[in-house]
Structure 1
């Protein structure tokens, strides 16, 4: 696992590094950046799994990093004293916002959200960001009908019929999505408001009929829970 810490205060950066190693293990690879420029450079050069980001970097705005790389496959945890920016950060899809000053327990809570499967974000996001050429396009959560896994990527199937490709995996997006989304199959997450009827097919197969007429597969292990939810 590769973790990038972007923090301009060396003392705090070392403290975050120590707590991170204590939570994970000594084998985790930790990269440190003390400025906006160095952080941007490292993200361009390295494939990271988790970003720990301060929002005030020697007077520069850490949100520039969040906005530039929000569509990337890694998850982001903000560690900042600027708690008034928490709502904006969550809207852009960060996994957690740890306010300064912080302790091991609070940071461990954030790391647990990163390591545990399923929904873990503590506040609903409003957008998913997709990269279109050199620009970032924000897709409103309300416009997503369902999400289909496509290897290390995902397909966002939208209400207007468009399909947008996202760099985050299905597992990563599941952590961020609000409670209105349900994992119905290993390859599908459904916007629950789009569910119409659960279909039992020949051979013990199950499908979900959507309000727009589409049919999505339902995993056998999910059938009972989904059936109960529809009642």
Structure 2
């Protein structure tokens, strides 16, 4: 678990940090506390967190501005704020929970438990990817994927029917969520291993993977040996 706290009151930030460390224990890999939107944005861009704990009033600046700047971020968010009237707006931003200030430890622990349950559910075996399309959520069965290609902070889902869908999570985050049957063969590609037909060795030490439909995708040099071992 990687956590970013954005809270401008040092006393509250220390309390949140203490509770987070106590709750997540040995599962906590990284935690950083920030006191401004600028610091928070930098932390989110560099730490690739699983959880953001965010105040909405940061030295007079609106915390929603931070969420809007990283709307495609692949992390869960818990708002901790005295502005309870902004809860509806917060949930519209896709946050997992809203904890009003002043908060009891039991309430924040409850929010942490929701995060843990959500992450555990994701780890138990992902079957669908949710894609936002025309204001609606469309579920894509992972069995329908031919491969996934990086598109900056997004990912392109290339389907067996020839269609493409844009997913709002990065390739790095999808790699964490997808089952072991999906292989990261290149910095920009993830492929379901059952779609792999054979490896082609090109001049100059370059490698390509031929898919079952004949399409070719690149293989990174550092991924070649591992992929070759899986296909033999």
**Shorter-chain TM-score: what band?**
0.5 to 0.7
What pairs up with 1:7-86 in 2 under 5 angstroms? Answer: 17-20=17-20, 23-27=30-34, 29=40, 30-32=53-55, 45=68, 47=70, 49=73, 50-52=75-77, 79-80=112-113
State how many pairs are aligned. 173
Task: Please report how far the alpha carbon of residue 223 of structure 1 lies from its aligned counterpart in structure 2 after TM superposition.
Answer: 0.6
What pairs up with 1:1-231 in 2 under 5 angstroms? Answer: 2=4, 17-20=17-20, 23-27=30-34, 29=40, 30-32=53-55, 45=68, 47=70, 49=73, 50-52=75-77, 79-80=112-113, 94-96=118-120, 122-231=123-232
SS at match of 1:125: coil
Q: Which runs of 4+ in 1 moved over 2 A?
A: 1-4, 13-23, 25-30, 41-50, 65-70, 78-81, 94-97
TM-score normalised by length of structure 2: 0.60
Unaligned 5+ runs, structure 2: 7-12, 23-29, 41-52, 57-63, 80-90, 97-110
Structure 2 CA distance for partners of 1:127 and 1:16, relative to 1, 3 Å: farther
Question: Cα deviation per residue 1:171-190 (whole Å; 9 max; x = unaligned)?
Answer: 01111001110000010000
Task: Please report how far the alpha carbon of residue 32 of structure 1 lies from its aligned counterpart in structure 2 after TM superposition.
Answer: 4.7
Q: Distance in 1 between matches of 2:162 and 2:16?
A: 44
Task: Please report how far the alpha carbon of residue 68 of structure 1 lies from its aligned counterpart in structure 2 after TM superposition.
Answer: 5.7
Question: Cα deviation per residue 1:21-69 (whole Å; 9 max; x = unaligned)?
Answer: 7851333753158xxxxxxx78965636532569xxxxxxxxxx59967
Task: Please report how far the alpha carbon of residue 95 of structure 1 lies from its aligned counterpart in structure 2 after TM superposition.
Answer: 3.4
Looking at secondary structure, tell me which structure has more helix per residue.
2
TM-score normalised by length of structure 1: 0.60
Task: Please report how far the alpha carbon of residue 122 of structure 1 lies from its aligned counterpart in structure 2 after TM superposition.
Answer: 2.7
Larger radius of gyration: 2
Structure 2 CA distance for partners of 1:199 and 1:136, relative to 1, 3 Å: same
Unaligned 5+ runs, structure 1: 5-12, 34-40, 55-64, 71-77, 87-93, 98-120
Question: Cα deviation per residue 1:124-168 (whole Å; 9 max; x = unaligned)?
Answer: 111111111211111111111110001111100011110001111
Q: Is the 8 A contact 2:5 2:33 kept in 1?
A: no
